[in-house]
Amino acid sequence: MTAQKAVLMPTSYSVILAVSGTHLINDLIQFLLPALYPVFKSDYALNYFQLGLLTLAQQITACILQPLMGLYGDLKPKPYSLAVSMAIVGAGVLLLATANSFLLLLLAATVLGIGSALFHPEASRVCRMASGGRRGFAQSSFQVGGNTGTALGPLAAAMFVLPLGQISTVWFALTAVLAVVILIWVARWFVNHQRVTAAAGAPPLSSVKLPRRRLLIAFAIIGALLMSKFVYIETFKSYYTFFLIEKFAVEIQHAQTILFIFLGAVAVGTFVGGPVGDRIGRKKVIWVSILGALPFALLLPHTTLFGTVVMSILVGLILASAFSAIVVYAQELLPEKVGMVSGFVFGFAFGIGALGAAALGALADQIGMQQVFSYLSTLLFLGLLTFYLPDIE
């Protein structure tokens, strides 16, 4: 009976909301960097490859550090590490506001990436702890906070940052302070949750116990699926405005607004994917999301401005529903190492997305952004590898 009570802890909606809200703040601040790319390109005479390097500096730290941070959290949980992570993000946005050279912009991007690397695996673990068994719902709620923050990034840039200039990003440090205060409260809940679960008895972990070789193949396929999704999304985040300007000659603010619409669709799709995965299974959601987006992604580079906007909304809605399902599916492959697995998923996703964006930026310098976008959708054919994922549900 004691073990049953430990497993059936109630869902803590306030904690999930708090972590999702701070995820919104983190990802809003993180997106200030790519949102400012048009300014950096003109003010510092940067080319697409240098802009890709900024993305790489921000994301590669997450790629390397997140699995390590997640594993460390599995071994030695630190309830206040989330608050520390947002303090680092606050320092990063201050550096971004005051940087006056490409090297200082690289430093700011790196500091932002370090804060994000510490935040994501620990926040994902806390949401799982607070889920009360509704793991897909908790994970998608967490993710939709981040996607909403990312979607608000270009809108904030169009309405606030671009008109007032790079220095205006200093005001976003205040939102990081707010996030630190919220996460101190979450840390106190974390400590109390540990105390309650320790008194009730450690909950049993259900593991699928796949053979080591099968497990490695499963994680390799997850890596390929993450590559298809995140290279696509990161390329849109970094270069969609340039594609719109190059093909349709729209103004920067108009292009940023269209990017906001695409990222808003990504946020909605992310939220839908988790609860649906709880009901019908993660693997089915992954199938539908990645392959369902393919026909619209193939059409997107070859239509009118209105058609491009419509196709981007459909792609964002469908493609984004995969991520929460992928995270929970991966966690259920190794439930005793949730932090490490979450760190791997987030870290690999961010890292491969940044590498892909940097490589495609360099390619765009040679062949043009329109041609790059016409090739981009072929990445989604990697979704066919879902067939080889083991059925664990």
| Spans of all domains in the chain | 11-388
pLDDT reported for residue 3: 38
pLDDT reported for residue 4: 40
Calpha distance 274→186 (Å, rounded): 22
Nearest to 254 by CA among 264, 240, 265: 240
Calpha distance 109→95 (Å, rounded): 9
Calpha distance 182→184 (Å, rounded): 5
Computed on alpha carbons and rounded to an integer, the radius of gyration of the chain in Å comes to 20
Identify the three-state secondary structure at position 203.
coil
pLDDT reported for residue 203: 52
Nearest to 144 by CA among 52, 32, 17: 17
Are the C-beta atoms of 79 and 193 separated by less than 8 Å?
no
Report the 3 state secondary structure along 314-371: HHHHHHHHHHHHHHHHHHHHCHHHHHHHHHHHHHHHHHHHHHHHHHHHHHHHHHCHHH
Pairs from 305-313 (Cβ < 8 Å, separation ≥ 24): 305/244, 305/248, 305/250, 308/244, 308/248, 309/258, 309/261, 309/262, 312/236, 312/240, 312/258, 312/261, 312/262, 312/265, 313/261, 313/262, 313/265
Are the C-beta atoms of 70 and 341 separated by less than 8 Å?
yes
* Residue type, position 386, single letter: T
Low-confidence stretches of the chain (pLDDT < 70) are: 1-8, 62, 200-208, 393
Q: pLDDT tens digit string along 18-66?
A: 999 999 999 899 888 887 888 888 888 888 888 878 887 887 776 778 7
CATH 1.20.1250.20 describes domain 11-388? yes
pLDDT reported for residue 263: 83
Measured distance between the N- and C-terminal CA atoms of the chain, rounded to whole angstroms: 24
Nearest to 235 by CA among 120, 132, 378, 108: 378
pLDDT reported for residue 7: 46
